[in-house]
Amino acid sequence: MTDELLVRRDGALGRLTLNRPRALNAITLAMVRAMAAALDSWEHDDAVTTVLLDGAGERGLCAGGDVRFLYDDAARGGHGFPVLLAEEYRLDARIARYPKPYVALMDGVVMGGGVGVSAHGSIRVVTERTVLAMPEVSIGYVPDVGGTWLLARAPGELGTHVALAGARLTGADAIACGLADVLVPSARLRDLVAALAALPAHRAAARRHSRQHPADVSAVGRVVAGFAVDPGPPPLLAERAWVDRCYAADDVGKIVARLRAEGMTGTADAITAQSPVALVLTLGALRAARGDTALEQSLEREYRLTRACVRRPDFAEGVRARLVDRDHAPRWRPPTLDGVTDDVVAAFLHGTDLPTDPPLGLPRAP
């Protein structure tokens, strides 16, 4: 185990707490492995009725994966990051298929890898403090951890907007987009945890739970529903008309042109400030994910894309500009969308300089 993840029992509740508050609980390989080990241990433990995930500190559940590790590892030759990505994606798939209720408390900031360990759970709880985003294109990366699977299933083109513009979602938005289930006031989370811990252990808890109606199918869902409140109108849904019109195009340049024609100059500028290659790859991955019949298919595609991204200059430049030097002036290659030709994409993904990494090896989806 690792101090970066707190693993303990609270009555019939198996508790996992991401414990890197100074790094906003960014996920490391040690945390991934500790979570996987705990889930393995609790799956067949009849004394554990429910698994609950939360984050240490006051700022949020998790700001994402350990981007600085990916950055430093790539600079050293890139032998460690494929291991982290593979094990993280396997964990995300395992959470989605976990046979016991997996309750994620998505309080505060939830981004990137934090979405992976929460939004695939069976009961996903947001609060009035939730800020959810997948801003990977801003560092020359693509939405991963099953993010393309989730965003491709949001209503209309809302998921495309979230991915390309780095839009931030409220708790109500997350529910409307299918990334969460209920909103519980942050002041009631401690009471919710106590109520879940008080549930008796029983074998029936191991059945699979319906994401569509969690409150109707399980004792855990009924407890959570007892603390839930009306999330109120989702701000993002009020924007859906222009979002659907603008983002329906299957070309990023056309999307930007439509945004400018609609007078959404700020959104258009936000998109064109991101890595052009990452934008093109992200849109392609989102469109492909719409045809996937299982999360694992999207994860396999993301694994191919993210390994290429980390080894290409835009990722290092994006991390430098956004997270290291913080000058927010990345020098992308190519610098504009016009330069992202089919040949550039092919070289990016299949260049002869890219090593062959071990396959992701996800089990076949049921």
Residues with catalytic roles: 65, 113, 136, 144
| Cβ contact 110:134 at 8 Å | no
User: Cβ contacts of residue 301 below 8 Å, gap of 6+?
Assistant: 148, 285, 288, 289, 292
User: Whole-angstrom Cα distance, residue 168 to residue 179?
Assistant: 13
Measured distance CA(351)–CA(133) in Å, rounded: 30
Question: What percentage of the chain's residues is helix, strand, coil (to nearest 5)?
Answer: 50, 10, 40
Backbone angles phi, psi at 64, to 5 degrees: 135, -165
| Token pair for 231 | 């999330």
Q: Which residue type does 23 have?
A: A
Residues 311, 314, 319: CA angle, nearest 5 degrees: 95
Residue in 251, 256, 258 with CA at minimum distance from that of residue 269: 256
- Decide if 286 contacts 163 (C-beta within 8 A): yes
Rounded CA-CA distance 366/364 in Å is: 6
